[in-house]
Amino acid sequence: MKIRTSLYLMKEAFVSLKRNALMSFASISTVAVSLLVLGAFGILGLNMGYMVSALESKVEVTAYMQDSVEGDALTQAEADIRAVSGVSEVTFVTKTEALSRFRERLGDQASMLEALDDQNPLPNAFEIKVDNPELVKPTAQAIEQMAGVETVKYGSEIVDQLFQMTKILRILGLVLLGFLVFATLFIISNTIRLTVFARRKEIGIMKYVGATNAFIRLPFLMEGMILGSVGGGVAAVALYYAYSALLYEVHQVLAFLYLVPLHPFIYIIGGALVGIGMLIGAIGSAISLSRYMDV
Amino acid sequence: MITLSNVSKTYSTGAVAMDDISLSIDKGEFVFIVGPSGAGKSTLMKMLLLEESPDKGDLIVNGHDLRELPKKKIPYLRRSMGVIFQDYRLLPDKTVYENVAFAMRIVEASRREMKQNIEKVLGLVGLKHKAKSFPAQLSGGEQQRVAIARAIVNNPVIVIADEPTGNLDPENSWEIMNIFEEINKSGTTIVMATHDKTIVDRMRRRVIALEKGKIIRDEAKGGYGDED
Ligand SMILES: Nc1ncnc2c1ncn2[C@@H]1O[C@H](COP(=O)(O)OP(=O)(O)O)[C@@H](O)[C@H]1O
Ligand SMILES: [Mg+2]
């Protein structure tokens, strides 16, 4: 097909969109709202993933040893811990080291320690790094079972909860995705059905003068793609402003939260929304064309 | 050019539109298809346009046997035909020029070729000065002339017209017939279904009369007859 013909068909698609302005507006709005929700979910999910990986490096399991374990037994315990699957790094922290760290942390208040009378109440400990934050909990549990281990603490339960939440979010997101895609497909194919109906006379004439199926269908396909991508574009712009406002607020109040920076993240999300919109638009009009246009 | 051999067509409603029809039309002929309403004239036109296919029998159009023609090729075969209807079928929101250009865009003609051909056919139907008008600003006769211009702009070998003067007064009807004569003179085959007794009787062309889906008469310089 010649470029000039494609341009002509594109123009026809825009004319038709303008002619059915109300319906076009309705379907663009629906697409925009759907993709906005979808995009918001995507941003939420990606941020949680981002937080998890940011916390990941900070997650450590600490195993506190019974004071009765000494010498070779400690060496053996270290070897046993290393052998647990998922463990990537083990550092031994002696009682003495632990105390001096504690003293440092106390700073001005270190004098409190004088009450201890040279006694060291802190246990020997192993600081353990784990390959994968999902393994923190099982690793901690496994180490807790080992002989000579008093207690096991791990960085935070936050990671655990984040994981649960991302899982739920993912399932929820998929359900929502299905629902929204269905809704947008429905509205777009309906819009295209109406434009096919409005232009049935033109379609008839095209057939009589020898237009091929592809030629007749192309403007409608373009129409669907325009509706979808404009809807996606609107959603992208809205998300851009919403997310930059959110980042600003979070930065003011909850600076410790790890959120994905605006650039280039939001452009990728926006591009994806426009792309998804266009794809849904194409599929929506293809559905309509196969059902309502007999060429 | 066109050959039908023992063609029958019954619609799914049970209406028999063509009943064992055989006929042959040569290149350059001017043929009237006459008969009362419901005789099967429009069905025959649609068959020539490959819009309906025969239940039985063979159909050859412009050298193509319909039986051996893949569906995908049908649009290309239609480009060798021009078609005109009683109700003009113009696009109301396009100008006269764009309505005619529409047929050429589909064959992806070059801009220069488009301009040339459109000027030529608008000249032939006497509407050069109305190129920028919209259909609603034209009389019925003028609208039908635009439809003719569109039908012939791609230089078809066959022109198929289904009651083209059905909505027109006698004066406009004659103007249309003059244009058809003109087109026929250049070698284009014309098949025209009509109700119009005066036209058929005065033109003295080949007449094929249908009734209840059968050919009841086929005469080389015939008149309308008394069937109606
Ligand atoms: N699309 C259709 N579906 C069912 N019956 C039809 C259809 N078109 C025409 N017919 C019937 O076929 C017969 C021939 O119709 P038609 O070819 O339109 O005749 P004419 O053009 O001579 O008036 C009539 O009985 C008509 O009712
Ligand atoms: Mg008829």
- Same domain? For A183 and A71 the reply is no
Q: How many angstroms separate the CA of residue A27 from the nearest CA in chain B?
A: 24
Length of chain A: 295
- Model confidence at B136: pLDDT above 90: yes
Q: From the CA of B163, give the closest atom in ligand 1.
A: 21
Select the residue from A19, A20, A208 to test the B interface by mutation, using most B Cβ atoms within 10 A. A208
Which among B72, B89, B111 has CB closest to A205? B89
Point out the residue among A4, A5, A210 whose CB comes nearest to the CB of B75. A210
**Token pair of B22 as six digits:** 């055989």
- β-pair type (B206-211, A60-65): unpaired
Q: Do residue B49 and residue A205 have CB atoms under 8 angstroms apart? A: no
Ligand 1: nearest atom to the Cα of B36: 22
Task: Indicate whether A182 and A273 sit together in one domain.
Answer: yes
**Mean pLDDT estimate for chain B:** 93
Nearest CA in chain A to B83: A208
Q: What is the mean pLDDT of residues B196-201?
A: 92
State pLDDT tens for residues B78-120.
999 999 999 999 999 899 999 999 999 988 889 999 999 999 9
Q: Looking at the complex, does the CB of residue B111 fall below 8 Å from at least one CB of chain A?
A: yes
Alpha carbon A15 to its chain centroid, in Å, reads 38
Residue A116's CATH number: 3.30.70.3040
Which candidate from B72, B76, B89 shows the least CB-CB separation from A210?
Answer: B76
> Residue A155 has what pLDDT?
63
| Number of domains making up chain A | 2
What distance in angstroms lies between residue B47's CA and the mean position of ligand 2's atoms?
Answer: 13
| Residues within 8 A of B (CB atoms), A 206-245 only | 206-213, 215
Together in a domain, A179 and A280: yes
Q: How far is the CA of A295 from the centre of ligand 2 (A)?
A: 22
Which of the four pLDDT bands, split at 50, 70 and 90, describes residue A156? low
A209 and B154: CB-CB below 8 Å? yes
Long-range CB pairs of B67-74 (<8 Å, 24+ gap) are: B72/A212, B74/B50
Q: How far is residue B153's CA from residue B148's CA, in Å, rounded to a whole number?
A: 8
- Scan for tokens 């085959």, then name that residue: B189
- Residue A295 located in a structural domain: no
Of A2-11, A247-256, B78-87, highest mean pLDDT:
B78-87
Every domain of chain B and the residues it spans: 90-155
Identity (one letter) of the amino acid at B65?
D
Pairing state of beta strands A87-93 and A125-130? antiparallel
Task: Report how many Cβ contacts below 8 Å link chain A to chain B.
Answer: 49
Q: Which among B50, B40, B8, B39 is positioned nearest to B158, based on CA atoms? A: B50
Distance CA A134, CA A115 (A): 41
Cα separations (Å) of B214 from A33, A157, A256, B13? 61, 89, 90, 18
Could you tell which of B7, B8, B12, B13 is best to mutate to test the pocket of ligand 1, judged by most ligand atoms within 8 Å of the CB?
B13
CB contact under 8 A, B75 and A211: yes
Query: Does the residue A219 lie in any domain?
Result: yes
Report the pLDDT value the prediction gives residue A58, as an integer from 0 to 100. Answer: 63
Whether residue A171 sits in one domain with residue A32? yes
| Boundary of a domain, candidates A154, A177, A195 | A154
- State the distance from the centre of ligand 2 to the C-alpha of B70, rounded, in angstroms: 27
Task: Name the H helices within chain A.
Answer: 3-19, 21-56, 72-83, 95-106, 136-144, 157-198, 200-208, 213-253, 265-292
Identify whether residues A178 and A253 lie together within a single domain: yes
Say what the pLDDT of residue A251 is. 79
H or E element that contains A113: none
Whether chain B has a CB inside 8 Å of the CB on A174: the answer is no
Residue B30 has pLDDT above 90, yes or no: yes
Q: Chain-wide mean pLDDT for chain A?
A: 84
Band of the pLDDT at B135, cuts 50, 70, 90? very high
Domain assignment present for residue A255? The answer is yes
Whether residues A149 and A223 fall in one domain: no
Q: Could you tell me if A264 and A243 are in contact, meaning their C-beta atoms sit under 8 angstroms apart? A: no
Band of the pLDDT at B49, cuts 50, 70, 90?
very high
Residue of chain B nearest A19, judged by CA positions: B93
Q: Quote the pLDDT of residue B112.
A: 93
Cβ(B191)–Cβ(B160) below 8 Å? yes
Confidence band for B228, pLDDT divided at 50, 70 and 90: very low
Is residue A239's pLDDT more than 50? Answer: yes
pTM, entire model: 0.74
Is residue B156 pLDDT above 60, yes or no? yes
Nearest ligand 1 atom to the CA of B45 is: 17
Q: What is the mean pLDDT of residues A17-35?
A: 88
What is the domain extent for residue A130? 60-154
Decide which of A89, A124, A154 is a domain's last residue.
Answer: A154
**Average pLDDT of span A158-164:** 72
- Token pair listed for B18: 């063509």
Q: How far is CA B124 from CA A278, B100, B148, in A?
A: 46, 13, 10
Q: Last residue of a domain, which of A124, A154, A184? A: A154
Which of A17-26, A83-92, A148-157, B196-205 ranks highest by mean pLDDT? B196-205
pLDDT the model gives residue B20:
95
Quick one: three-class SS letters along B132-186? CCCHHHCCHHHHHHHHHHHHHCCCCCEEEEECCCCCCCHHHHHHHHHHHHHHHHC
Per-residue pLDDT tens for A199-209?
888 888 888 88
User: Which range is least confidently modeled, A6-15, A109-118, A119-128?
Assistant: A109-118
CB-based contact B75 A207, cutoff 8 Å: yes
Whether residue A68 sits in one domain with residue A51 = no
Residue B55 makes CB contacts below 8 A (sequence gap 6+) with: B8, B9, B10
